[in-house]
Amino acid sequence: MYKLFTDKLENFEAKIRLEGASLKKSKARLVIESTDFDLLFKGTIDESGRVKVPIKRLKGLLDENTQGTIKLEVIAEDTYFTPWESTFKVEASRKVTVEVVTQKEKQGKETLSEVEIISQPTISEKQHIINIVKMLVKEEINIDNLSIKKTKVNSIIAEYIQDNPIQDNQRTQVIDKVVKILEKKK
């Protein structure tokens, strides 16, 4: 069962191999089907066959404990196929991170594709840095007024970490890199 979260951004990643069609002209999308309605998220396929589909926060769209079917759809030239399908459950994110090491499913003998789930989506360190810098810039916080507005900075970062948990071993690196970016924006 695949886990989706109501309160954090995710990236669905998979690796596909395509025979008889060009990856460059192919499109990927993730379809989430529940009893109430369906959601579709568009993704990209790079030259090596790595599929990446950003999934926005599902809060307000799907309730916690909602279950249904999630599938990866690929449109290769004029052919449509579903190389991977699974059930899903919506949860609120927890402090525990889950990593799917390998999860393979094949569909029938005629399917010319194979999908391997690389990992359960999490926000990358880079994305944390980008998100925090955007929030600071929006509040007109820069390297020159950082110490003056430290209460506001602490509030912004605390709120961000509450909504988007950052692993303890990443926090110092993320903050250091945010400060370096603010120094460059002088």
In the chain, which residues have pLDDT < 50? Answer: 95, 108, 111, 119-121
Residue 69: predicted pLDDT: 95
pLDDT value at residue 31: 93
pLDDT of res. 40: 92
pLDDT at 114: 61
pLDDT of res. 23: 81
pLDDT value, residue 119: 47
Query: Considering the entire predicted model, what is its pTM?
Result: 0.49
**Those residues with Cβ within 8 angstroms of residue 23's Cβ, 6 or more apart along the chain or in another chain:** 45, 46, 47, 49, 76
pLDDT at 117: 58
Contact between 136 and 182 under an 8 Å Cβ cutoff? The reply is yes
What pLDDT score does 95 carry? 47
| Phi-psi label, residue 108: left if phi above 0, alpha if psi -120 to 50, beta otherwise | left
